[in-house]
Amino acid sequence: MSQKRGKNTKQKRKMIKVSKYEFDSESQADTKIDALPENHGHSIVKLGNIKLEQGEYDSEGNETKPPVYSNKYHIDVLWNGSEIQEIDEEENITYDHPYGWKTYAVEIDSEGVHSFMGVSYQENKI
Alpha-helical (H) ranges within 1-126 are 2-12, 26-34, 121-124
Domain regions of the chain by residue span: 14-124
Q: Which pLDDT belongs to residue 48?
A: 97
Nearest to 121 by CA among 18, 10, 24, 51: 18
CB contact at 8 A, 80 and 110: no
Are the C-beta atoms of residues 105 and 61 closer than 8 Å to each other?
no
CB 73 within 8 A of CB 28: yes
Residue 24: other Cβ atoms inside 10 A: 11
Average pLDDT, the chain: 87
Contacts of 91 by beta carbon, 8 Å cutoff, 6+ apart: 7, 11
Q: Higher confidence at residue 61 or residue 4?
A: 61
DSSP conformational letter for 63: E
| Each residue's pLDDT tens digit, 71-119 | 999 999 999 888 888 888 998 888 999 999 999 999 999 999 998 988 9
